[in-house]
Every structure is written in C-alpha cells, then in structure tokens.
Amino acid sequence: MHQRLTVNLVVNGETYERDVEPRILLSDFLRHDLGLTGTHVGCEHGVCGACTVLVEGEAVRSCLMFAVQVDGRQVTTVEGLAPNAEELHPLQEAFWESHGLQCGFCTPGILLSMVPFLESNPDPSEKEIREALSGNLCRCTGYQNIVDAVQRAAAGQAAGGATPEAADVADEPSRRDGGDEATAGEVPA
Amino acid sequence: MKPAPFEYKAPATTDEAVDLLAEHGWDAKLLAGGQSLVPAMNFRLAQPAVLLDLNRIDELAYIRTVDSAEETGSTGSNVAEGDGGGGAVGLRIGAMTRQAALERSAAIAAHSPLLAAALPYIGHPQIRNRGTIGGSIAHADPAAELPAIVVALDAELTIRNSEGERRVAAAEFFQGLFSTALGPNDLLIEVDIPALPAGTGWSFQEVARRHGDYALVGVAATVRLAGDVCEAARMVFLSVGGGPVIASNAEASLVGQPLDERRIGEAARLAASEDIDPVNDIHASVAYRRHLAEVLARRALHEAGARARSGAGA
C-alpha cells in the first residue's frame, strides 16, 4: 500500500480536500481528481507549457509539481478566469477577437501565462510579449495572432477596461498579412 | 500517474531536512524547484524511494547583503585592498531562493549584475518561478547558467549535514557531469557571492537555438583593469564540457597584458581550441561549438573590458 496524503487547497475560489498518492502530478490531480479538464496536458516534462496554472498567482507548469505540494495553497486554472458563464475574461475576449487560437489545445496554458505577465507589465512591447510566450508552444497559429491578442488585451486594459473591440489595434504594424479569417477557431469548452 | 511510487516528506526546517537526509542517505532525493528532477521522474529516469521536498523550508529562501570589508568568515577573499569605503557588497543567497525572486531583486541587480544578466537565459518565466539557485547548482547540468556564474564569481557554497557545516569554493564544487562535492547526506544551504573587486568589468554571452532553450555555448567573463593592463581575468564556459569549464589558458594569456584587440582575439582562440572540450550532439557539432566559443569569448572580453574602463562594472 502506497503512502496517501490529504491535500487541502483552494482552486478558483473553491475549497477541495482529497486523499492522493504523493506521485500524483498537479496537472493530473486537477483533471482527474477535481474534474477540471481545462488544464491541458501536452509533453508532461515541462517543455510545452499547455499545463500552465497559477499557484499563489504565479504561472507554473502543473506537470512539474506534485499535488501534495499545493496543500494549503491557492490555484487558478482556466476555469477560474471568466467572471461568469456568460462573460469571458478580457484576455479570453481578446483571443476571440484576434483569432488567437485554432485548435485551442495550448490556449489555457497561454492564457494563464499571460494573465500575470500583463499584470506585471501592462504595456508590453511586441518583443516582451514574444519572450513571455516563449515557454508555451502552439502548433497551429504561428503565434502571430496570439501576439496580436495579447496586444489587444493590453490596449483594452490601458483603455480602462474598455471592451477589446474598442481597442485601437486595427493597424497593428507587426501583422504579417491581412489575417486568415477563414481559420477562426471555436473556443473550446 | 507517471512517476514511480515514492515516500514523500516535507520538512519545515533545515535541521529537520538534514536529519531526514542522515536517515535516508542515497535512498532520498531532494526536491527543490523540481524543474529538472520532476521531468526525470516523469520519464522514470529517476525513481527515488524517498522524496524530501525542501519547498516548505522558508528559512532557506533569502537574499542578504553583507559588507565585504567586514566579512571575516570567508576564505580567500578576493576583495582588492583599498576597496573599503566604496561599500563593496557581497551577497548571501539561501539555496531555496527562486530564480524569479533573484530576477526581481534590486540587491542582485545592484551588487551582482553578472548574475542578474544570466538569469533571463534560464528556461522560461514559468520555469524560473519554481527553479531555485541551490537546485540548479546541486543538479550541475553542464548546460546550466548558474553553475558557470558562481564559478566565475568565485562564490562559496555552504553545505550542511548532520555532522556540521563546511564551505566549498564553487570551482571545487563541480566535479564532472552531474556530479558535485555533495555527498548523500549533504544539503546545500547557501551561496555566498563576494563583491567584485573595484575596476572589474563583466559580461555574459550565450547562444541557444531559441530563447530559453539549453545553451549551445555560453560564457561568463570578468576582467580587472589597471589603466589598460589586465590584472585578473576569469572566463567560464557552459555547455562545452562536463560542467562549468574554466578557460585557464585563455585567462593566463591575458593577465599582465594590455587588453587590446590582438590579445582578446588570441585569448578567444586559446579558449576555443585548448580550454574547452565540447561534444557532438543533435544540436551542434564540435566544430560549431568551438566556433561559437571563440566568437562569444571575444564579445565577452570586449564587453567586460568596456565595463571595466567605464566603471560600469563592479
């Protein structure tokens, strides 16, 4: 019989208590024990960034932590971003507007990486955005629309919470082409 | 569930951790930031019977400044005479201090700009939020930045076990591929970085395939100038040997000479041809690594020399 430990934690404002084996990764704990499948699991060795969540407000790879390590801590996953079932988080809204996703697999990790980034750096340059995104792999978009989405979110933030549509990012100089509207993806459940 | 089963213990104090290490020795593996160990466990390359998680030991996470002139405990202090009054400041960093905390620290930026310059090259922000200075040093990956930095800065490492404490110079700590002076019962607890002597310039250069990837080659350099003459030089490479590689032939060629274009070129050639021992892998050939080493060494010496001349170094 392997050791089991009790984990008490707060995820997206809700308190959970579970008994787990210490070898359970935080990523698997969120998905299988708590049913929060918005956190995606890609490479499972810290390269792809798909499993990024916030622990005490800081972006971390949940495949490189054990669930027992977050005992007593606060965790935020992609399910915790939107204020309610009708509205999106402004960053999610910006990804929608800029077509910052296609298949959506990498999106939760990217959103969770960009939330603390935009908090600490509200007016980032394109270079800073690309650097901040460097730990998240996307195989669909070529990143351009993701960079646009983050710029749109930053502009919306600067406009004092104005809707991202109102943000003036229409003539984004970094844009390589006129956009590929045909590939607009759906927001994954 | 990827890792093999293990027994998990999370000591709250350094003493507790040291006692647990004495009890479990080789069976135990220490978990610091986990950014190298957990991938190895996920692949089952590492299957420790006992995992000692150091993340609850708050007393091992700190950045303190010390007046180098008052420092009595350190051996082989390289603080230049006449340095007092200028407020040469050294740093003491707890082993469990996160790389992100070092990156945000005003004390690190002010008193160890070479360390500060190397930090953004470590992985990605998400990695640095977890990764620790002590974990990176104890893991001793030859491609890692922090081992080369602590050797370049003549740091001293404090190691504790149930018998007591000892201090080891960084240059003696690294003993080859992933091996260090740490024994099975040893815990690295502190990194002491002395102030750079006045008149010292520094530089960190690295080339990786993409930002955040492991370095193909990197180099940390310091030079101390008196007028135009190089009084001391340090060049430590990463990713070109079993650990941090000190370019001793190149260093010796610089000392006592004017730091000019010809000597910099000669030292860079010596470093790339004599001092380093790179290997072929899927990322780069030996020839390409030697080429990079020469180019980066030249850039590093130019930049360090310029900082020493402008007083923008130590």
Residues B143 and B66 in one domain: yes
Section B199-212 average pLDDT: 93
**CATH 3.10.20.30 residue ranges for chain A:** 5-80
Q: What is the pLDDT of residues B240-256, one digit of tens each?
A: 999 999 999 999 999 99
CB neighbour list of residue A47: distance below 8 Å, 6 or more residues apart: A137
Q: Is residue B2 part of a domain?
A: no
B129 vs A28: CB contact, 8 Å cut-off? no
And the tokens for B27? Answer: 């069976």
Predicted confidence at residue B134, as pLDDT, reads: 98
Residue at a domain's end among B168, B193, B218: B193
Put simply, the answer to whether A65 touches B1 (Cβ < 8 Å) is no
Percentage of chain B lying above the pLDDT 90 cut: 89
> For residue B141, what pLDDT band results from cuts at 50, 70 and 90?
very high
Are residues A49 and A137 in contact, defined by beta-carbon separation less than 8 angstroms? Answer: yes
- In chain A, the residue whose alpha carbon lies closest to the alpha carbon of B43 is A45
Q: Are B154 and B167 part of one and the same domain?
A: yes
Domain boundary among B177, B193, B209: B193
Q: Are residues B70 and B159 in the same domain?
A: yes
pLDDT range class, residue B87, cuts 50, 70, 90: low
The domain total for chain B is 3
B12 touches chain A (CB under 8 A): no
Mean pLDDT along residues B104-123: 97
In a domain, B1, yes or no: no
pLDDT at B211: 80
Are both B179 and B97 inside the same structural domain? yes
The domain spanning residue B180 has which CATH number? 3.30.465.10
Q: What percent of chain A has pLDDT over 70?
A: 84
With CB atoms and an 8 Å threshold, state whether B35 touches A45.
no
Of A53 and B214, which is predicted with more confidence? A53
Alpha helices by DSSP H, listed for A46-135, are: 90-97, 107-120, 126-132
A72: closest chain B residue by CA = B56
- Same domain? For B207 and B236 the reply is yes
Average pLDDT over residues A109-120: 97
**Beta-strand pair B245-246/B215-226:** unpaired
Answer with the one of B170, B193, B216 that is the final residue of a domain.
B193
Q: Examine the domain organization and report whether B86 and B171 are in the same domain.
A: yes
pLDDT number for residue A186: 39
pLDDT of residue A2: 87
Say whether both B23 and B78 belong to one domain.
Answer: no
Asked: is A5-80 a CATH 3.10.20.30 domain? The reply is yes
* A68 at B interface, C-beta within 8 A: yes
Q: Measure the CA–CA gap between A110 and A154, rounded to whole angstroms.
A: 15
B138 and B243, same structural domain?
Answer: no
Q: Are residues B14 and B26 in the same domain?
A: yes
- Same-domain pairing of B68 and B169: yes
**B1-55 pLDDT tens trace:** 589 999 999 999 999 999 999 999 999 999 999 999 999 999 999 999 999 999 9
Domain that holds residue B222: 200-310
Q: In this predicted structure, what is the pLDDT of residue A174?
A: 45
CATH number at residue B238: 3.30.390.50
Assess whether B161 and B235 both reside in one domain.
Answer: no
Contact of A17 with A7, CB cutoff 8 Å: yes
CB B105 within 8 A of CB A92: no
Contacts of B126 in chain A (CB under 8 A): 49, 52, 59-61, 113, 135
* Span B165-179, pLDDT tens digits: 999 999 999 999 999
What was the pLDDT predicted at B311?
Answer: 81
| Residue B129 touches chain A, beta carbons under 8 Å | yes
Question: Beta strand B200-208 with B187-193: parallel, antiparallel or unpaired?
Answer: unpaired
Nearest residue on chain A to B53, alpha-carbon basis: A69
The pairing of strands B7-9 and B50-53 is: parallel
Q: What mean pLDDT do residues A168-179 have?
A: 43
Asked if A60 lies within 8 A of B2 by C-beta distance, the reply is no
* pLDDT tens digits for range A20-70: 999 999 999 999 999 999 999 999 999 999 999 999 999 999 999 999 999
Closest chain A residue by Cα to residue B210? A134
pLDDT value at residue B86:
47
Q: Is A3 in contact with B4 (Cβ distance < 8 A)?
A: no
B39/A132 CB distance under 8 A: no
Residue whose tokens read 């390409």: B288
Which CATH number covers residue B22?
3.30.43.10
According to CATH, the superfamily of the domain at A90-183 is [2Fe-2S]-binding domain (1.10.150.120)
Backbone angles phi, psi at A52, to 5 degrees: -60, 130
